[in-house]
C-alpha cells in the first residue's frame, strides 16, 4: 500500500472514530437529560447542607484537576 493511501486510510479512521465517540457522548447526555426531566435521577437536586456543598465542590475540583492532568499529559512532548 502506498504512503498516500495509508495516510488517507488513517484520516478516514480518525474521522469515523471521532464521529462514533461524539455520537456516544451525545446519546449519554440525552439519556441523562431525559432522566433528569422525568425525575428518574435522584441526584438532580442542588445540595441542601454545607456538607453536601463541600462534597459537590470536591467532585467538581477533582473533575477539573483530572481533565487538566489528562490534557497536559496528552500534549506533553515524549
Residue 41 near residue 32, CB atoms below 8 Å = yes
Same domain, 21 and 54: no
Same domain, 69 and 54: yes
Q: CA 4 → CA 8, 9, 10, 67, distances in Å?
A: 6, 9, 10, 35
Q: Residue 7 has what pLDDT?
A: 85
| Measured distance between the N- and C-terminal CA atoms of the chain, rounded to whole angstroms | 29
Same domain, 18 and 33: yes
Same domain, 1 and 37: yes
**What does the pLDDT look like over 11-59, one tens digit per residue?**
899 899 989 999 999 998 888 878 777 766 666 667 788 998 899 899 9
Residue 31 near residue 39, CB atoms below 8 Å = no
State the total domains in the chain: 2
Give the residue with greater pLDDT, 76 vs 23: 23
Is pLDDT at 6 greater than 90 in this prediction? no
Same domain, 52 and 72: yes
DSSP 41: -
Same domain, 35 and 73: no
Per the structure, the complete domain to which residue 3 belongs is given by: 1-43
Amino acid at each position: 500500500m502506498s504512503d498516500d493511501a495509508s495516510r488517507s486510510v488513517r484520516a478516514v479512521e480518525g474521522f469515523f472514530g471521532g464521529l462514533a465517540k461524539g455520537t456516544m457522548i451525545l446519546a449519554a447526555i440525552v439519556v441523562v437529560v431525559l432522566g433528569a426531566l422525568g425525575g428518574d435521577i435522584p441526584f438532580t437536586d442542588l445540595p441542601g447542607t454545607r456538607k453536601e456543598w463541600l462534597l459537590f465542590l470536591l467532585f467538581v475540583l477533582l473533575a477539573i484537576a483530572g481533565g487538566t492532568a489528562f490534557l497536559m499529559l496528552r500534549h506533553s512532548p515524549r
